[in-house]
Structure formats: C-alpha cells, structure tokens
C-alpha cells in the first residue's frame, strides 16, 4: 500500500502536445516509405533528363543604352526593355528577317529576355536545331537593336523639332519687337523712354532664349548618335552546349531531395495522424502493464550471425521466464497477440516445449486466420487444439492459450484461453486508442495483464517501459480479482511476483 500512497501523492507528469522523440522514432521506422520516395524521385529525375532533353538553345547579350540612365536606377528601364522584347512587334520583325511564316504569338513562346544589369539584356532562344536557334537569336537581337535605335532617333527628332518650332516662334516675336523699336522716335518724354527700354530688354531676353533653343536642338541631334553606337550586340549568338550526364546528375539530385522531403513529410504527417505508439514507455502506459521482454526480427542478411545469436539468446530467456510464470500460477495463462501472430505462435510453442518435460501440455489455439492447430507438428511437440475443443481438455492438463486482441476480437472468448495473459505487441502496429480499448476490454473480462512482450522495437529506444506503480494504476480488474479471493476482503499487502524483463541488447544485459 505504500506504493499506492506514493503514486497518488506524486503529481502527474504533463503529456506534451507533440513528443518529438516518438515522432523521430516513428519516422525512422518508416524509412522504407521515404527511402522509396527518395529513390523514386532520383529515378524520375534521371529519366526526365534522358527522355525529355532540353531543346536546342542559343543565347546572346545586348548592351542597351538609355538617355535616362542614372546611377541609382533600380532596373526599371531594363525591365521595360524585357517587356518590349516580348511583344509581337519585335517578334514580327525578327520573323520577317528570317522570312518565316510562323505566327509571332507562337514565336514569343520560344524565347525569353533577362535583365542581367541595368544596361545588359540576355536573350535565350530555342529552335529545332542549334543552327536555327542561333539564327533566331541573331534575328531577334538585331530586331530589338533596330527597334530601340529607331525609337531613340524618333524621340530625338521629335524633341529637336519641338525645340526648333519654339525657337521659330521666338524669332517671330523678336521680329515684332525689332519692328516696334524701329517705329519709335526719340522723345524726351520719360514715359516713352521707359517703353523703349522695356522693348530693348525683351529683345535681349528673346535673343538669349533663341540661342538656348538652338543649343538644345543641336544637343538633341548630336546626342542620338552616341546612344545609337552604345546600343549593340556585345555577345554574339552562340549555341548552348547541353551535357546529358550533367543534366541527369542534376535532375537526379533534385528528384532525390524532393522525394526525400516528400517522404519525410508524409511519414511525419502519417505518424501524427495515426498516433501509433512505438516507444516502450508509451506502449506500457497505454496498456497499463510493463514491458518484460523485447524481441527483434531476425536479420535478412547472412552477415548477421552475431545478431541472430543474440536474438536466440533473448528468446531463450523469454521462454524460461514465461515457463517459470506458468509453473507459479494457479490458473492457465494465455498469450494474446497484436500484429504479430507468427511470433506469438513461436513463443507459445517454445514455452510449451519447455513445460512438456514436467507433464502434458496443451496449446489452445484461438488465433484468427491459418490455425496453429492445423500446422504440421514435429515429433515431441505439445498437443495443439482449436478454441472450439477447449472444453474437451481435462482440467489436470496444463493449458496455454494463444489468441488475438486485434480489431474484430470476440472479447468474451478470451477468458477461456486463460485467467491471466501476456500481451505480445508489435511496436507501431496498434493506435493509442486501440491499446486503450484492449486494456479496458481485458479489465472488463477480469483478465490481468502480467506484462507485455514487445516485437520489433526500435533499436535506439532507451525509454523505460516499466510501470513501478502498475499494480494500482493499470487495469480496473487487476485489483478486483485478488480482492474477491481474499476472505478478509482486504487487498494483499505484498506485490505479486512480476516476470523479470528480458534484455535484448548488450547495454541492457550489463
């Protein structure tokens, strides 16, 4: 009772919203999924590079000068040039120089422009062959340069014409001012003198403005050749060399990374959604019973002799523990599996063979699917009967039941397999909700759980799967059965003898 008082007085450990350790372990256990997706991505990437090679491409670079160029330009002018390159006007002029009947809208889909700097434009063009791609790139670059130069000349011509027209209007006004000055006669009237002085001032202003407009018009005409010379093709069109091995390696690497990321994401999401416990502490807490042994799958590779030897040693220790438990129990014991029927059958046969030397042993097979009772028996093996013939087994014969707690189990039939049970659970097979259901149903059937044998655990799991206060926090029927058997009506003060946990690694065995 001391344990119960301590357990009740100790505060409950808060359950984290997301257990990162359990998530990492579950994702690592699903390595077949993300490894398969990573391999699939690698193969698809390599196949795309081989089966869908890029079309022949040519590239050229054009130096574009603007009258409005400023050192602090953010790239607006070059972006405008890129947008102008993708117009039917430029595409149509390039097709005219190529004498091609192709539609400009279709041709626009075969090239693109990229602004490398504020004044450097790169043009990428595709074609049916390298020669055609180079010819297209040259025609497109020439069409763009011609259009750009033509727009600059037209702009300069329009600006110069506007300045000349303004100058001519100033000259007409100057002629009128000169005529007005010539019509005035020298007078001594102060007012007439002031009027003549204003006319002379206006004439001087008009002469200055006329000279300014002349200079600006000359600058507009002389500045255009500099811009025209500055806009030119600086990198002649050339075909882009395509390396199939390099493209295959690049695409394969990209596919590998994308497949790996997708696989890890699917594994993580599937783990969170499925909520299948894989750690010892989670399985023990959900079932309300301690993990007494761990058994790993036998390695498929022939080089794992040492690992197989360690697995056989773990099975031998588990068989001895369960056999000792059966000898010390007053009623029959059962092994109930969840996701590992074959492993449970092997364990039951091993325990029955260990007990056969002391007397007759009968295995009651309650497993679904292929019956253990119908399997081929070796000489000296214990008798195996089906669950329907369990009533015909004499009471003096030692019985060992084998059943399942998988979905669809007939819970009321489990009590005929044994009055107490050991659960054989495959890690990551059942959800947390189903483990709770198993614990609740066994409690309702008054079947105490001695312990849990964990099949295929995570080799890096170092969590503790022992419930030190399991007698008081596990199943409801765990304490009710001894209470009814005690004539005084009090709970036994001594804890039952729990099977020792069988280590399955050198670190745990030390």
The torsion angles phi and psi of 112, rounded to 5 degrees, stand at -150, 155
Q: Residues 146, 93: contact at Cβ < 8 Å? A: yes
pLDDT at 79: 92
Question: Is residue 249's pLDDT more than 60?
Answer: yes
Q: Residues 422, 333: contact at Cβ < 8 Å? A: yes
Give the range among 2-6, 51-55, 275-279, 305-309 with minimum mean pLDDT: 2-6
Burial class of 279 by CB neighbour count within 10 A (0 to 12, 13 to 18, 19+)? buried
Confidence of residue 375 (pLDDT cuts 50, 70, 90): low
For strands 333-338 and 420-426, give the pairing. Answer: parallel
> In the numeric block, which tokens belong to residue 268?
């993580």
Q: For helices 20-29 and 244-274, give the axis angle rounded to 10 degrees.
A: 130
Task: Indicate the average pLDDT of the chain.
Answer: 79
Q: What is the mean pLDDT of residues 6-34?
A: 68
Strand order, beta sheet including 57-63 = 111-115, 120-126, 57-63, 232-239
For strands 420-426 and 449-455, give the pairing. Answer: parallel
Report the alpha-carbon distance of residue 174 to residue 205 in Å, rounded.
9
Q: What is the mean pLDDT of residues 455-481?
A: 62
Give the range among 12-16, 275-279, 293-297, 340-344 with minimum mean pLDDT: 12-16
How is 18-30 classified by DSSP, letter by letter?
S-HHHHHHHHHHT
Q: Residues 61, 116: contact at Cβ < 8 Å? A: yes
- The alpha carbon torsion through 63, 67, 71, 76 (nearest 10 deg) reads -70
Higher pLDDT, 185 or 448: 448
Give the number of other Cβ atoms within 10 Å of residue 209's Cβ: 15
Pick from 23, 22, 27, 25: which is nearest to 263 by CA?
27
Confidence of residue 481 (pLDDT cuts 50, 70, 90): very low
Residue limits of CATH 3.40.50 in the chain? 277-509
Q: Residues 296, 304: contact at Cβ < 8 Å? A: no
Question: Is residue 395's pLDDT more than 80?
Answer: no
Confidence of residue 255 (pLDDT cuts 50, 70, 90): very high
Confidence of residue 376 (pLDDT cuts 50, 70, 90): low
pLDDT at 220: 66
Confidence of residue 508 (pLDDT cuts 50, 70, 90): very low
How is 111-170 classified by DSSP, letter by letter?
EEEEE-SSSEEEEEEE-SSHHHHHHHHHHHHHHHHHHHHHHHHHHHHHHHHHHHHHHHHH
pLDDT at 259: 94
Question: Degrees (nearest 5) of the Cα angle 182, 184, 189?
Answer: 155
Which residues, including other chains, have CB under 8 Å from residue 440's CB and lie 6 or more apart? none
Question: Is residue 507's pLDDT more than 60?
Answer: no
Report the alpha-carbon distance of residue 259 to residue 265 in Å, rounded.
10
Confidence of residue 187 (pLDDT cuts 50, 70, 90): low
Q: What is the mean pLDDT of residues 393-409?
A: 85
Report the alpha-carbon distance of residue 311 to residue 472 in Å, rounded.
33
The torsion angles phi and psi of 295, rounded to 5 degrees, stand at -130, 130
3-state secondary structure of 365: strand
Q: Residues 314, 477: contact at Cβ < 8 Å? A: no
Higher pLDDT, 15 or 243: 243
- Greatest distance between any 2 Cα atoms in the chain: 158
> In the numeric block, which tokens belong to residue 379?
């000489």
Higher pLDDT, 377 or 174: 174
Report the alpha-carbon distance of residue 33 to residue 262 in Å, rounded.
10
Question: Is residue 90's pLDDT more than 70?
Answer: yes
Question: Is residue 49's pLDDT more than 80?
Answer: yes
Confidence of residue 20 (pLDDT cuts 50, 70, 90): confident
Confidence of residue 495 (pLDDT cuts 50, 70, 90): very low
Buried residues in 394-425 as b, exposed as e (16+ CB within 10 A): eeeebbbbbbbbbeebeeeebebbbbbbbbbb
> In the numeric block, which tokens belong to residue 200?
């002379």
pTM of the model: 0.61
> In the numeric block, which tokens belong to residue 19?
């257990």
pLDDT at 192: 64
Confidence of residue 134 (pLDDT cuts 50, 70, 90): very high
Confidence of residue 110 (pLDDT cuts 50, 70, 90): very high
Percent of the chain with pLDDT over 70: 79
pLDDT at 498: 38
Question: Is residue 7's pLDDT more than 50?
Answer: no
pLDDT at 499: 38
Which residues, including other chains, have CB under 8 Å from residue 124's CB and lie 6 or more apart? 57, 58, 59, 111, 112, 113, 114, 137, 240
pLDDT in tens, 282-320: 888 888 888 888 887 644 454 455 557 777 888 888 888
Q: Residues 403, 366: contact at Cβ < 8 Å? A: yes
What are residue 361's DSSP bridge partners? Answer: 398
**Residue written as tokens 């594994």?**
267
Q: What is the 3-state secondary structure (H, E, C) of 268-279?
A: HHHHHHHCCCCC
For strands 291-295 and 449-455, give the pairing. Answer: parallel
> In the numeric block, which tokens belong to residue 413?
């039939």
Percent of the chain with pLDDT over 90: 26
Q: Residues 452, 420: contact at Cβ < 8 Å? A: no
- Fold classification of 277-509 is Rossmann fold (3.40.50)
Confidence of residue 325 (pLDDT cuts 50, 70, 90): confident
Higher pLDDT, 495 or 31: 31
> In the numeric block, which tokens belong to residue 255?
């596919």
**Residue written as tokens 């009740």?**
8
Q: Residues 494, 482: contact at Cβ < 8 Å? A: no
Question: Is residue 25's pLDDT more than 60?
Answer: yes
Q: What is the mean pLDDT of residues 147-172?
A: 81
Question: Is residue 497's pLDDT more than 70?
Answer: no
């Amino acid at each position: 009772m001391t344990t119960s008082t301590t357990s009740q007085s100790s505060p409950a450990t808060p359950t984290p919203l997301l257990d990162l350790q359990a998530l990492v372990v579950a994702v690592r256990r699903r390595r077949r999924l993300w490894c398969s997706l990573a391999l699939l991505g690698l193969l698809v990437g390599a196949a795309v590079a081989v089966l869908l090679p890029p079309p022949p491409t040519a590239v050229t670079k054009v130096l574009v000068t603007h009258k409005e160029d400023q050192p602090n330009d953010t790239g607006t002018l070059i972006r405008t040039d890129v947008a102008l390159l993708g117009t039917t006007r430029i595409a149509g002029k390039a097709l005219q120089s190529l004498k091609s009947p192709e539609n400009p809208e279709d041709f626009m889909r075969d090239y693109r422009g990229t602004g490398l700097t504020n004044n450097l434009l790169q043009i990428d063009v595709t074609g049916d062959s390298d020669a055609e791609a180079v010819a297209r790139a040259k025609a497109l670059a020439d069409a763009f340069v011609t259009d750009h130069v033509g727009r600059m000349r037209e702009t300069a011509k329009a600006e110069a014409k506007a300045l000349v027209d303004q100058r001519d209007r100033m000259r007409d006004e100057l002629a009128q001012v000169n005529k007005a000055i010539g019509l005035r006669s020298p007078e001594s009237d102060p007012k007439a003198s002031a009027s003549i002085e204003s006319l002379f001032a206006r004439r001087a202003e008009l002469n200055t403005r006329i000279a300014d407009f002349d200079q600006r018009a000359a600058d507009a005409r002389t500045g255009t050749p500099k811009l025209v010379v500055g806009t030119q093709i600086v990198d002649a069109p050339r075909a882009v060399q395509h390396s199939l091995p390099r493209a295959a390696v690049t695409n394969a690497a990209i596919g590998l990374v994308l497949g790996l990321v997708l696989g890890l994401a699917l594994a993580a999401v599937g783990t969170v959604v499925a909520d299948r416990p894989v750690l010892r502490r989670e399985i023990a807490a959900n079932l309300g019973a301690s993990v007494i042994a761990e058994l790993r799958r036998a390695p498929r590779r022939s080089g794992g002799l040492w690992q197989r030897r360690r697995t056989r040693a773990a099975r031998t220790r588990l068989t001895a523990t369960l056999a000792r438990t059966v000898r010390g129990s007053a009623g029959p014991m059962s092994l109930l599996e969840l996701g590992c029927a074959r492993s449970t059958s092997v364990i039951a046969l091993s325990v029955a063979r260990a007990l056969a030397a002391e007397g007759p042993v009968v295995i009651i097979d309650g497993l679904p699917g292929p019956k253990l009772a119908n399997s081929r028996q070796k000489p000296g093996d214990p008798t195996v009967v089906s669950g329907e013939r369990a009533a015909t087994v004499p009471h003096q014969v030692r019985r060992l039941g084998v059943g399942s707690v998988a979905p669809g189990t007939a819970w009321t039939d489990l009590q005929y397999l044994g009055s107490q049970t050991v659960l054989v659970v495959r890690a990551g097979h059942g959800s947390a909700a189903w483990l709770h259901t198993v614990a609740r149903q066994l409690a309702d059937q008054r079947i105490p759980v001695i312990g849990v044998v964990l099949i295929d655990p995570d080799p890096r799991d170092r969590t503790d799967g022992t419930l030190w206060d399991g007698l008081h926090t596990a199943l409801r029927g765990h304490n009710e059965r001894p209470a009814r058997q005690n004539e005084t009506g009090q709970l036994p003060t001594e804890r039952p003898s729990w099977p020792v946990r069988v280590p399955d690694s050198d670190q745990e065995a030390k």
